[in-house]
């Protein structure tokens, strides 16, 4: 077993026995294969008992959960390198520490405590907010093949968001749509906001040309006909257009706040799509 805090990169998946954690591990397989790094299953036991029998039972439960995921992934028949680690720590602490050297952290949108409600759990939210690498949050019932949606806002993280989205679209052979969130207007700044929006659009078109030239099979287009991100997600759902992944930057306030609002979470849950938050280090 690998030390989860080692410097050798891997794709880390948080395991807790929930269905969404299993789906996160399945989703992460292609990420690990694409990077040619191990897929590490990390189970964190937050023990609150000093009773050895209780501790032994917790370890046994963790081992069963990890074994279940191992068996599920091995049955896929894909050439992924599997590793696992069981640590005694709060899940949030263990995942944040592992993120310091991980290529990516993947976790289910809801652990066992939130499985009935189906909402994004507190651990997922905390890890996404503080991780040192990209974080993917995967629902218990992820959508099948569908488009990748990059959400940019002209912040320093926007280039990274689109680059990560291009990589994901190529990996998953999916069409890529790029949604540019408009900055709020005011009487004093409306001209500046308009200029900034035009500049962002021009920069994106230039980059689209570059990616189309280098990747002729890449289906990448901007989203021009919608001004609201949530309205666009609702439009896709009405049109029965599946979205398998939404990619955003970590800058706040920004697109992440929209998607983590009650209406934003509802839109993500209705779409059954994964959410990826890019690396904080690109803009810190």
Residue pair 240/269 in contact by the 8 Å Cβ criterion: no
> What pLDDT, in 10s, does the model give residues 117-129?
444 567 888 888 8
Residue 94 tokens, joined: 């263990």
The helix-helix angle for 262-271 and 229-238 (nearest 10°) equals: 30
> What pLDDT is stored for residue 118 in this prediction?
40
From 3.40.50.12370, 3.30.565.10, 3.60.15.10, 3.20.20.140, which CATH number describes the 147-277 domain?
3.40.50.12370
> What pLDDT is stored for residue 283 in this prediction?
43
**155-164, 167-176, 193-202: segment of lowest average pLDDT:** 193-202
Residue pair 197/180 in contact by the 8 Å Cβ criterion: yes
Residue with the bigger pLDDT between 154 and 78: it is: 78
Domains 10-138 and 147-277 share a fold: yes
> What pLDDT, in 10s, does the model give residues 120-153?
567 888 888 889 999 999 998 888 899 999 999 8
**Where along the chain do its domains lie?**
10-138, 147-277
Residue with the bigger pLDDT between 27 and 56: it is: 27
Residue with the bigger pLDDT between 9 and 41: it is: 41
Question: Distance between CA atoms of 280 and 249, rounded to whole angstroms?
Answer: 8
**21-25, 162-166, 196-200: segment of lowest average pLDDT:** 196-200
> What pLDDT is stored for residue 193 in this prediction?
53
Q: Any idea which residue has 């599946």 for tokens?
A: 242
Question: Distance between CA atoms of 261 and 17, rounded to whole angstroms?
Answer: 27
Q: Any idea which residue has 């081992």 for tokens?
A: 63
> What pLDDT, in 10s, does the model give residues 40-63?
999 999 876 677 767 788 899 999
> What pLDDT, in 10s, does the model give residues 243-267?
999 999 988 788 988 998 889 989 9
| pTM of the shown model | 0.86
Residue pair 54/97 in contact by the 8 Å Cβ criterion: no
- Start-end of H helices in the chain: 19-35, 52-74, 91-98, 122-130, 158-171, 190-214, 229-238, 255-259, 262-271
Class of domain 10-138: alpha beta
Residue pair 254/155 in contact by the 8 Å Cβ criterion: yes
Residue 233 has pLDDT above 60, yes or no: yes
Question: Distance between CA atoms of 17 and 279, rounded to whole angstroms?
Answer: 27
Residue 6 tokens, joined: 């080692």
The per-residue pLDDT of the chain, averaged, comes to: 85
């Amino acid at each position: 077993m690998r030390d989860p805090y080692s410097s050798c990169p891997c794709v880390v998946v948080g395991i807790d026995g929930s269905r969404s954690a299993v789906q996160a591990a399945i989703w992460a397989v292609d990420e690990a294969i694409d990077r040619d790094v191990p897929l590490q299953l990390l189970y964190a036991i937050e023990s609150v008992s000093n009773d050895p029998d209780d501790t032994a039972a917790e370890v046994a439960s963790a081992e069963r959960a990890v074994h279940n995921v191992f068996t599920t992934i091995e049955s896929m028949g894909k050439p992924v390198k599997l590793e696992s680690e069981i640590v005694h720590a709060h899940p949030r602490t263990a995942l944040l520490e592992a993120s310091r050297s991980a290529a990516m952290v993947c976790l289910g949108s809801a652990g066992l405590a939130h499985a009935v409600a189906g909402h994004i759990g507190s651990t997922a939210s905390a890890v996404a907010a503080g991780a040192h690498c990209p974080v993917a949050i995967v629902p218990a019932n992820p959508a099948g093949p569908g488009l990748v949606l990059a959400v940019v806002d002209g912040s320093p993280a926007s280039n990274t968001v689109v680059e990560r989205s291009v990589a994901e679209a190529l990996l998953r052979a999916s069409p890529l749509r790029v949604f540019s969130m408009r900055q709020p207007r005011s009487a004093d700044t409306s001209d500046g906001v308009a200029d900034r929006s035009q500049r962002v659009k021009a920069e994106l078109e230039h980059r689209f040309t570059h990616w189309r030239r280098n990747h002729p099979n890449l289906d990448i287009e901007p989203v021009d006909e919608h001004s609201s991100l949530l309205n666009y997600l609702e439009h896709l759902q009405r049109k029965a257009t599946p979205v398998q992944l939404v990619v955003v930057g970590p800058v706040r306030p920004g697109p992440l706040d929209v998607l983590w609002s009650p209406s934003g979470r509802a839109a993500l849950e209705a779409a059954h799509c994964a959410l990826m938050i890019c690396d904080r280090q690109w803009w810190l």
